[in-house]
Amino acid sequence: MEREALKRLLGRVKVGKVTVAQAMEQLRHGPVSELGFATLDLHRALRRGFPEVVYGAGKTVEQIGTIVGRLHDAGQTALVTRVGPEIHEALRHDFPRLEHHAAARALVLPLGRRRRGRSGIVVMSAGTSDLPVAEEAALTATVMGNEVRRVYDVGVAGLHRLMAHRDTMLAARVIVVIAGMEGALPSVVAGLVDCPVIGVPTSTGYGTGAGGWAALMAMLNSCASGVAVVNIDNGFGAGCLASLINRAHSPRATKK
Amino acid sequence: MEREALKRLLGRVKVGKVTVAQAMEQLRHGPVSELGFATLDLHRALRRGFPEVVYGAGKTVEQIGTIVGRLHDAGQTALVTRVGPEIHEALRHDFPRLEHHAAARALVLPLGRRRRGRSGIVVMSAGTSDLPVAEEAALTATVMGNEVRRVYDVGVAGLHRLMAHRDTMLAARVIVVIAGMEGALPSVVAGLVDCPVIGVPTSTGYGTGAGGWAALMAMLNSCASGVAVVNIDNGFGAGCLASLINRAHSPRATKK
Amino acid sequence: MEREALKRLLGRVKVGKVTVAQAMEQLRHGPVSELGFATLDLHRALRRGFPEVVYGAGKTVEQIGTIVGRLHDAGQTALVTRVGPEIHEALRHDFPRLEHHAAARALVLPLGRRRRGRSGIVVMSAGTSDLPVAEEAALTATVMGNEVRRVYDVGVAGLHRLMAHRDTMLAARVIVVIAGMEGALPSVVAGLVDCPVIGVPTSTGYGTGAGGWAALMAMLNSCASGVAVVNIDNGFGAGCLASLINRAHSPRATKK
Amino acid sequence: MEREALKRLLGRVKVGKVTVAQAMEQLRHGPVSELGFATLDLHRALRRGFPEVVYGAGKTVEQIGTIVGRLHDAGQTALVTRVGPEIHEALRHDFPRLEHHAAARALVLPLGRRRRGRSGIVVMSAGTSDLPVAEEAALTATVMGNEVRRVYDVGVAGLHRLMAHRDTMLAARVIVVIAGMEGALPSVVAGLVDCPVIGVPTSTGYGTGAGGWAALMAMLNSCASGVAVVNIDNGFGAGCLASLINRAHSPRATKK
Amino acid sequence: MEREALKRLLGRVKVGKVTVAQAMEQLRHGPVSELGFATLDLHRALRRGFPEVVYGAGKTVEQIGTIVGRLHDAGQTALVTRVGPEIHEALRHDFPRLEHHAAARALVLPLGRRRRGRSGIVVMSAGTSDLPVAEEAALTATVMGNEVRRVYDVGVAGLHRLMAHRDTMLAARVIVVIAGMEGALPSVVAGLVDCPVIGVPTSTGYGTGAGGWAALMAMLNSCASGVAVVNIDNGFGAGCLASLINRAHSPRATKK
Amino acid sequence: MEREALKRLLGRVKVGKVTVAQAMEQLRHGPVSELGFATLDLHRALRRGFPEVVYGAGKTVEQIGTIVGRLHDAGQTALVTRVGPEIHEALRHDFPRLEHHAAARALVLPLGRRRRGRSGIVVMSAGTSDLPVAEEAALTATVMGNEVRRVYDVGVAGLHRLMAHRDTMLAARVIVVIAGMEGALPSVVAGLVDCPVIGVPTSTGYGTGAGGWAALMAMLNSCASGVAVVNIDNGFGAGCLASLINRAHSPRATKK
Amino acid sequence: MEREALKRLLGRVKVGKVTVAQAMEQLRHGPVSELGFATLDLHRALRRGFPEVVYGAGKTVEQIGTIVGRLHDAGQTALVTRVGPEIHEALRHDFPRLEHHAAARALVLPLGRRRRGRSGIVVMSAGTSDLPVAEEAALTATVMGNEVRRVYDVGVAGLHRLMAHRDTMLAARVIVVIAGMEGALPSVVAGLVDCPVIGVPTSTGYGTGAGGWAALMAMLNSCASGVAVVNIDNGFGAGCLASLINRAHSPRATKK
Amino acid sequence: MEREALKRLLGRVKVGKVTVAQAMEQLRHGPVSELGFATLDLHRALRRGFPEVVYGAGKTVEQIGTIVGRLHDAGQTALVTRVGPEIHEALRHDFPRLEHHAAARALVLPLGRRRRGRSGIVVMSAGTSDLPVAEEAALTATVMGNEVRRVYDVGVAGLHRLMAHRDTMLAARVIVVIAGMEGALPSVVAGLVDCPVIGVPTSTGYGTGAGGWAALMAMLNSCASGVAVVNIDNGFGAGCLASLINRAHSPRATKK
């Protein structure tokens, strides 16, 4: 059960709208679900603020279907990354509400009606081939309750393309910058704004750029402060981190 | 001139406490100060929220003294990283208020009376040899207006040492985790909290661990989401990024 | 001929149950069997305590069939690693008792009725994708005469999953820990127990984690002492080493 | 307090030789000792079977002295690795019983009269320059209660030197093999024995061999099964692991 | 035209068995043959003692056919490496005498009746998967006029397999040693003999051994002197070098 | 003798101002000067357009003095790179006209009165620590007959510093861009201009940036076309190449 | 619109051959064309002297078709690199004038009748497998208005093949040298000429040469000055850079 | 005792010039001499044709003195590599005939009057900084009984310097080629001769060339066949190997 849902449930118990027995039924899932091939961490949604996300690469249709079902039963949003349309095709009969996000190579089984997300996150990409990673980041942040602005294909070889989006950058609370090749975009963006920048190196490229190491090293050595980096191609990690940063406004720790 | 000071100055002009001529005198510094050997970015304090920070390694006493003086004249806090006590010794006559932070290997020339910082940042280290980097991170965040909690030498080989600080971790808005060797601490910490974790690999160690690559790679491949990484030994970068995250509460972008 | 069988044979010769001529017939195989494409080390079972194991990757069905047959004729258990079901399919007519262990990607042609193994070995994995390597380790140890406890998918991002198995860990004489990504699990486990831990990095992952180097380097730099490492994905090596450690109780060298 | 001492103490309480108050006084140390610059894990001796060992490189005389004193007060053996004679010189006034082991670059402050160690461990080295690492391994194992056989400078370029020690190898319960350059000795040794072999690559050498990576990679890819590897130059880790393997005879887990 | 043939031709001109016109016709090929896609070095057979060898990987059937034909027309032996049976199939109609050496993955179009080769070269391999490289080395040396002894699958994990061939090794003038994994065999062999040893690392293996770097680094750091190394999998280069060494008996430079 | 000087000499011979004997005396130096420890290529000035340049690192004062003298005798400009003031101190008695360029760490012994150089080369640096490399490039180009514009400390973290020099960049015929850390400046500059850009990565930095590999890889993977790269810290090479490009106006090859 | 075309258009407006309205229609394209999946930089042809070039690898037929069409509409030459014949097949109906250059793996949609290019560029290759990269370089330079001389398969193992082309080399204004394996050709060529040499390492090869790193490192460390390097296999980049160098004769910056 | 001396001794025993008792006295040394810190392989001179050579780096004066003395007592030539003049200074009192070869950084204690060596070995170097390695190779070969031709500083940037020595190269039976930087010289030399070429990469250089990896990789990927490689800076290994090749004329294995 996700954090918001739990809060609502306990509120209803308090005011008598839900009986204790009903609440216990809804809370019957333990912190861990043993699936044989996996130990699903159902407690994660409470502890960390969002449910366990499924890395789809290398998992069979059956494994993915089992996990998605278990998460859904436990009242948690299911997000599956790195999967193609064939997985969606195979599972959509069992889960009619399952959404396929082709550009992000991901599946989402939402919990209910989606509310409007919290603004503040911008996702930028340097080139066209960075799109799958950028979309994975954007979708992840969206699923976690944010509204995302996208600015794509604005690499440093043509600064006028980037400068046209200066207002969007200045309005952001956190910016995710996806770049392959020489990975220079995060440095240039971070030099222009006063919010955190998350660099995501991509593995597109060839020769010394193949695999994304050049972009990774560039981002780690950014001459502009305020840049943090995640693993090569890790759009999910960047979207998740951006979401954590974007809601840093929670009541906790705001005393001064 | 730093952002807060500028706001105050303009407020005084508005209410007539300061004449336009006086304000112009105070604002006389251009966005760039040409020092011959360097092009100081005096505009940075306004654009990015904090002044240019001086990386001291490899600079001469004269160069550091010139830059510190210029920043001070421009009404900006001067922070110099990676310097030993001999630099302090050589400069303290010219700058009597210059502070030497030995553990952080840094100098600070503050602007005025320091106000109490904003809470929310925790700096943790896995081992004893990670202290210089941890202190650089903590000092940076402090100079940028935060109040920092320190939790040191709590590596994963003895989990009970770490668990004793669970409340501190849960109360944080952002946690900086410094670790060398196998760099596992950020993963374990991120698995316990719901705030962003910034991993800082350190170069302490020997054999395959020498130079910090093992720790860096571990942090980039964290199985716990919500971890971002900065360059090896980059305490300054982590402290700066933590500060950017911690004040993400600014009025901008909070509409929903 | 394996060690135990040889001891039994010699015992029977001593008490007259087997004639010298019969024993010679059974011992006719020399220490080496020249197969043209390979020089089979039939002496290994005596010298090292277990027969030569066949690394199946890149060998043809014919080569594997020839080696398995020769080992069987020499009275030795045949273990073939890194093979798919098609090899089993092709060979099961010739060797009706040949077992296919799909999860471990291995074949076994046992010698006789299997006796209950010696307890003391635990095989743990950090994630779901580590299973093939974990099963290879577990099967190897089982074939070599051990009884293996399995604890899977208990990575450090959710410590409560790991802690639930503390008793199993404390009861072990040696623990094999399989992990990809940041490879932190061996360090955390070794910090909790007083028996040797064998870390096996796996090549699952992407970006900087692809190939298993990040996990390998993490394990080599473990801050917890008592961790040794084998090659990336080398489940067989870990299982074999665990078996050697587990039977270190032999009469030899126990004087004190 | 170390494990054996605790057992004795509790035994004395049981039979009335020690009062509860006296026992409490002796057990007053908590599981962690906060030293400011370090969080000493005093619980480790109980949990893992031996006390925390001090990695001396990079620590000041004062820090080492403080830790050694605290360990000694807590009734634990102090072992300090990677230190030169000048540390011994500076501390021997405060700790008259402190021993300096020059070849192993280590200090030991023993608890009482040393009992004869448990046999079964052999430490071998391929060359003369591997001696410091070999001695660190041998000393570590000795301090942890083992009696160690040493066989040095028997690299594979002259097999007759190695073969002269075949009996010693065959009698071992675990062999630590130290080698730099091409790191071939562990493979050759493991091919001759039926006990676990721990390979320790050393950083001696030049060109492509500098730093020990060639030896490390060779050991990880050993064609002889039964070889595990620790970090480059990690004599301490190998000695510690050998000790854990050598006492795997404890009553626990021996049921069959 | 190869060196021997040229010598014979000039001899015949001298004694009048061949007219100058006839000789000119036979010598009509220039030092270079422009094929459009390649500049064939026909002069190489004279200058270096053997004709240009064709690296077949990545060349089309047409390209290979053209080169083989041109070499044959110029009176030179054609050796094509790294080709599969399909190339042989496609070309054997045009070149009925073309030989396919499957194990060596090579084609040979010989010039005439092969004479018995010069003895002195031994080719050894550590494992079964090293065979294609070993056969490429052996075939190359054979084509260049040597008679080769083969000793396969005698890796260091079972020294008795190696020692059985000591006489063969001691009789050699040069030994080519092929090994993957930890690449230890060249060191052990070189320690036993007084002739040059050429190490050839192979790319067989997995994990850190994948690609052959571990074996390469081991051979470069051999503790036994007298070992030279060629590129990973470069059986051709080793065979060619062995041939150059084996015929170092030429009349030139033997004065003393 | 340098190219220009040779042309003048031959012109004078033609018009009778210099006798043949006098010219022969001046041209007496052969193409190579054997110094025992070096084979000086005196022909290079004619063949390549500038004399051999002396890489000073690791050479003794005597060696440098000998070479400088020989070049001077042969009528060639002597440029010595990577030397400190102590070399100048030791040689200035013998060569009173020897110039020491401290910032460039170089010595120059000019031939005569320097003529005004050819404009068209701009040398830019990203940071302050890149100055020694930048000055080496600028001095080299100057010695080779160019007039160089310098634009220093204009890294991408503050684009306004760079944009202030747009006119200088647009007027260039070739731009040398020196940068360490993430090496992004060449990409940004190349995106703004239509002349060749030569990127020079520098080894300043720490962590993953130490040694200059991050900057090198960034420049090799520039998303802006028109960027070529030289070795890390190779200011000399960049200055020399810029000079070659800048004089591509020679009469040769201009027919169209 | 390309630079030359713009100059002609403005000239016609000036003399009244084209009305202002007609000119505005032709200039209607903005500096950027938003294609959804890409932000096409139409301004590049003006700013940098040639239009944006399309890296075809990984793009769909639809994406390539859209970009080619948009460039064509904007009056710019379209060059698509790294594409196979199937892309040409799919697009040639829509663009009848589209040319397929098989050896260069590229497509070109030219603007009008091609004028004779400017001479001065030589493209050389060391081996046969370097041809695709060499052709990509040659085609790029040709499309950008140069006439290219090709000299292929002249690697350093047979210097006479290279020396036969000395005149061609000496007549060049810039030489592009393509080489895989040990990448020695650029050094040898640069030692013979006085024009810039652009080295292009190729990824052909195997073992340590696979991927092109050996050739790249060789070229970066050339002992001959005047060599710059581009990314592995980056024929396009080299051709483009050569074109920039070759037209460095523009009126700008030639004052002296 | 060295091989030649042993043959002479046995010949004298046979003809009665030496008594059996005298011979036994001279042969009293066993195959191994235990020195405590080392196990000297006195058998090596017989088995491999030359005595064990002492790698001096990291050994103390005492250790070197002990080994030199023991070798001398055993009637074997002592060669110590990688030592400075201070070692010579310290030992020359004890060993008055000890020779110091400064350029080769080596010591030699010869056995008797040196006979004229066997010709056939040429040692070449590409640059001036390669001299120490080249001299180590030349001295090693000389001590082992060869007469060495030296050709220094003939790198590929000026081919005329190399071509001047073509006759020397063509007369060689084996050529050792020392080169740093791009390591191209072995390829060029091997393309000109028909004898084996041994490449020795050196660690001179900077940037990507530092450490010698660029040169090593170049030599391993030589496009000229007939090149073998030894470790970076391994002049000793190359000299030793050249000697083994040069005396391949021994009566053994010459039957045909």
ipTM of the complex: 0.88
Q: How far is F219 from chain B (nearest CA, A)?
A: 19
Residues of chain G contacting residue A154, judged by C-beta atoms under 8 Å apart: 39
Q: What is the pLDDT of residues D202-229, one digit of tens each?
A: 998 899 998 999 999 999 999 999 999 9
Residues B105 and B126 in one domain: no
- Locate tokens 């000036």: which residue? G14
Q: Which among B225, B227, B236 is the top mutation candidate for probing chain A, defined by the most A β-carbons within 10 Å of its own β-carbon?
A: B225
- Interface size between F and H, measured as CB pairs under 8 A: 46
pLDDT of residue G255: 38
How many angstroms separate the Cα of D151 from the Cα of each of C73, D121, D129, D176? 39, 11, 14, 10
Task: Band the pLDDT of G249: cuts 50, 70, 90.
Answer: very low
Average pLDDT, chain E: 88
Residue D251 has pLDDT above 50, yes or no: no
Residues C94 and C128 in one domain: no
Instruction: Give the residue from chain B lying closest to F131, CA to CA.
Output: B37
Q: Could you tell me if residue H1 is inside a domain? A: no
3-state secondary structure of G91: helix
Verify whether the Cβ–Cβ distance D241 to C47 is below 8 Å.
Answer: no
Residue E220 has pLDDT above 90, yes or no: yes
Residues G236 and G128 in one domain: yes
Residues D235 and D124 in one domain: yes
Q: Could you tell me if residue E10 is inside a domain? A: no
Residue H97 has pLDDT above 80, yes or no: yes
Rounded mean pLDDT of A179-194? Answer: 95
- Between residues D20 and C144, which one has the greater pLDDT? C144
Residues A62 and A151 in one domain: no
pLDDT of residue F113: 73
Name, in order, each residue with C-beta under 8 angstroms of G99's C-beta and a sequence gap of 6 or more: G107, G108, G109, G110
Residues E56 and E160 in one domain: no
Spatial distance between the Cα atoms of F151 and F157, rounded to a whole number of angstroms = 16
Name, in order, each residue with C-beta under 8 angstroms of B127's C-beta and a sequence gap of 6 or more: B153, B155, B179, B180, B181, B204, C223
Spatial distance between the Cα atoms of A208 and G215, rounded to a whole number of angstroms = 12
With beta carbons less than 8 A apart as the criterion, state whether E155 and E185 touch.
Answer: yes
Q: Which of H82, H109, H136 is the last residue of a domain?
A: H109
With beta carbons less than 8 A apart as the criterion, state whether F220 and F149 touch.
Answer: no
Q: Which of E90, E109, E128 is the last residue of a domain?
A: E109
Which residues does residue E54 pair with via DSSP β-bridges, in sequence order? E80
- Interface size between F and G, measured as CB pairs under 8 A: 121
3-state secondary structure of A104: coil
Q: What is the DSSP letter of E207?
A: G
How, if at all, do strands H54-55 and H174-179 pair? unpaired
Spatial distance between the Cα atoms of A174 and A120, rounded to a whole number of angstroms = 6
Residues D73 and D187 in one domain: no
Q: What is the pLDDT of residues G211-246, one digit of tens each?
A: 999 999 999 999 999 999 999 999 999 999 999 999
Q: Which of A145-149, G5-9, H170-174 has the lowest mean pLDDT?
A: G5-9
Q: Could you tell me if residue E130 is inside a domain? A: yes
Residue F234 has pLDDT above 80, yes or no: yes
Name, in order, each residue with C-beta under 8 angstroms of C163's C-beta and a sequence gap of 6 or more: none
With beta carbons less than 8 A apart as the criterion, state whether C197 and B130 touch.
Answer: no
Spatial distance between the Cα atoms of G69 and G95, rounded to a whole number of angstroms = 8
Residues of chain A contacting residue C179, judged by C-beta atoms under 8 Å apart: none
Q: What is the pLDDT of residues H215-240, one digit of tens each?
A: 999 999 999 999 999 999 999 999 99
Residue F140 has pLDDT above 70, yes or no: yes
How many angstroms separate the Cα of F21 from the Cα of each of F6, F14, F18, F25, F42? 15, 13, 8, 6, 21
Rounded mean pLDDT of A101-124? Answer: 90
The two three-digit tokens of residue A249, written as one number: 């406004």
Q: What is the pLDDT of residues D27-65, one digit of tens each?
A: 666 666 777 677 777 777 777 778 889 999 989 999 999
Residues B123 and B237 in one domain: yes
Spatial distance between the Cα atoms of C189 and F35, rounded to a whole number of angstroms = 65
Q: What is the pLDDT of residues H22-69, one digit of tens each?
A: 776 676 666 667 776 777 777 777 777 788 899 999 889 999 999 999
pLDDT of residue B111: 83
Rounded mean pLDDT of G132-158? Answer: 95
pLDDT of residue H48: 78
Task: Band the pLDDT of H256: cuts 50, 70, 90.
Answer: very low
Q: Which of C41-50, C187-196, E76-85, G30-39 has the lowest mean pLDDT?
A: G30-39
Q: Which among E244, E246, E254, E255 is the top mutation candidate for probing chain H, defined by the most H β-carbons within 10 Å of its own β-carbon?
A: E244
Q: Could you tell me if residue E25 is inside a domain? A: no
Rounded mean pLDDT of E19-37? Answer: 70
Residues of chain A contacting residue G216, judged by C-beta atoms under 8 Å apart: 207-208
pLDDT of residue F125: 96
With beta carbons less than 8 A apart as the criterion, state whether G87 and G56 touch.
Answer: yes
DSSP per-residue codes, chain F: --HHHHHHHHHHHHTTSS-HHHHHHHT---SEEE-SS-EEETTHHHHHSSPPPEE-TT--HHHHHHHHHHHHHTT--EEEES--HHHHHHHTTT-TT-EEETTTTEEEE--SSPPPPEEEEEEEESSGGGHHHHHHHHHHHHHTTEEEEEE-S--GGGHHHHHTTHHHHHT-SEEEEEE-TT--HHHHHHTT-SS-EEEEE----SGGGTTSHHHHHHHHT-SSSSEEE--TT-HHHHHHHHHHHHTTTSSTT---
Residue F256 has pLDDT above 60, yes or no: no
Spatial distance between the Cα atoms of D213 and D196, rounded to a whole number of angstroms = 22
H131 residue type, one letter:
L
* Number of structural domains in chain F: 2
Residue A256 has pLDDT above 60, yes or no: no
pLDDT tens digit at each of 256 positions of chain C: 677 777 777 777 778 888 877 776 676 666 667 776 777 777 777 777 788 899 999 899 999 999 999 999 888 899 999 999 999 999 999 999 999 999 999 999 998 777 788 999 999 999 989 999 999 999 999 999 999 999 999 999 888 889 889 999 999 999 999 999 999 999 999 999 989 999 999 998 899 998 999 999 999 999 999 999 999 999 999 999 999 999 854 444 333 3
The two three-digit tokens of residue B121, written as one number: 């940042």
Residue E214 has pLDDT above 90, yes or no: yes
Residues of chain E contacting residue H230, judged by C-beta atoms under 8 Å apart: 220, 227-229
CATH code where residue D138 lies: 3.40.50.1970
Residues H158 and H101 in one domain: no
- Between residues F38 and E184, which one has the greater pLDDT? E184
Q: Could you tell me if residue B9 is inside a domain? A: no
With beta carbons less than 8 A apart as the criterion, state whether A196 and A170 touch.
Answer: no
pLDDT of residue G1: 63
Task: Band the pLDDT of A237: cuts 50, 70, 90.
Answer: very high
Measure the N-to-C terminal CA separation of chain C; round to a whole number of Å. 33
The two three-digit tokens of residue D60, written as one number: 């000041």
Asked whether the CA dihedral D188, D191, D192, D193 is positive or negative, the reply is: positive
Verify whether the Cβ–Cβ distance D217 to E219 is below 8 Å.
Answer: no
Read off φ and ψ for residue B26, nearest 5 degrees: -70, -25
Where does G143-204 show beta strands of DSSP type E?
146-151, 174-179, 197-201
Asked whether the CA dihedral C226, C231, C234, C240 is positive or negative, the reply is: negative
Rounded mean pLDDT of H133-149? Answer: 96
Task: Band the pLDDT of D21: cuts 50, 70, 90.
Answer: confident
Question: Which percentage of chain H shows pLDDT scores above 70?
Answer: 92
Q: What is the pLDDT of residues E172-189, one digit of tens each?
A: 999 999 999 999 999 999
pLDDT of residue F255: 38
Average pLDDT, chain D: 88
Measure the N-to-C terminal CA separation of chain E; round to a whole number of Å. 32
Interface of G with E (CB under 8 A): 128-129, 131, 152-154, 157-158, 160-161, 164, 204, 206-210
pLDDT of residue C251: 40
pLDDT of residue B74: 85
**Chains touching G, CB cut-off 8 Å, 3+ pairs:** A, E, F, H
- Between residues F115 and H72, which one has the greater pLDDT? H72
Question: Which percentage of chain G shows pLDDT scores above 90?
Answer: 64
Q: Which among G170, G225, G236 is the top mutation candidate for probing chain F, defined by the most F β-carbons within 10 Å of its own β-carbon?
A: G225
Residues of chain D contacting residue B208, judged by C-beta atoms under 8 Å apart: 213, 216, 231-232
Q: Which of E109, E137, E171 is the last residue of a domain?
A: E109
Spatial distance between the Cα atoms of F137 and F178, rounded to a whole number of angstroms = 9
pLDDT of residue E158: 85
Q: What is the pLDDT of residues G98-118, one digit of tens each?
A: 999 999 999 999 987 777 889
Residues F195 and F89 in one domain: no
Residues H65 and H130 in one domain: no
Rounded mean pLDDT of H138-152? Answer: 95
3-state secondary structure of H233: coil
Q: Could you tell me if residue C86 is inside a domain? A: yes
DSSP per-residue codes, G197-243: EEEEE----SGGGTTSHHHHHHHHT-SSSSEEE--TT-HHHHHHHHH
pLDDT of residue C152: 94
3-state secondary structure of E116: coil
Q: Could you tell me if residue A54 is inside a domain? A: yes
Q: What is the pTM of this model?
A: 0.91
Q: Which of E93-107, E221-235, G35-49 has the lowest mean pLDDT?
A: G35-49
Q: Burial, G233: exposed, middle or buried (Cβ in 10 Å; 0-12, 13-18, 19+)?
A: buried
With beta carbons less than 8 A apart as the criterion, state whether A135 and A152 touch.
Answer: no
- Between residues H66 and G32, which one has the greater pLDDT? H66
Q: What is the pLDDT of residues B30-53, one digit of tens each?
A: 666 777 677 777 777 777 778 889
Q: Which of A70-74, B66-70, B176-180, E34-38 has the lowest mean pLDDT?
A: E34-38
User: Which has the closest alpha carbon to A179: A190, A171, A168?
Assistant: A190
pLDDT of residue D175: 98
Q: How far is H144 from chain D (nearest CA, A)?
A: 19
Chains D and F are touching, with contact defined as 3 or more CB–CB pairs separated by less than 8 Å: no
F30 residue type, one letter:
G
Q: Which among E223, E227, E229 is the top mutation candidate for probing chain D, defined by the most D β-carbons within 10 Å of its own β-carbon?
A: E223
Task: Band the pLDDT of G156: cuts 50, 70, 90.
Answer: very high
Instruction: Give the residue from chain F lying closest to H182, CA to CA.
Output: F231
Q: Could you tell me if residue B25 is inside a domain? A: no
Structural domain harbouring H94: 31-109
Residues H36 and H69 in one domain: yes
Q: How far is B93 from chain A (nearest CA, A)?
A: 30
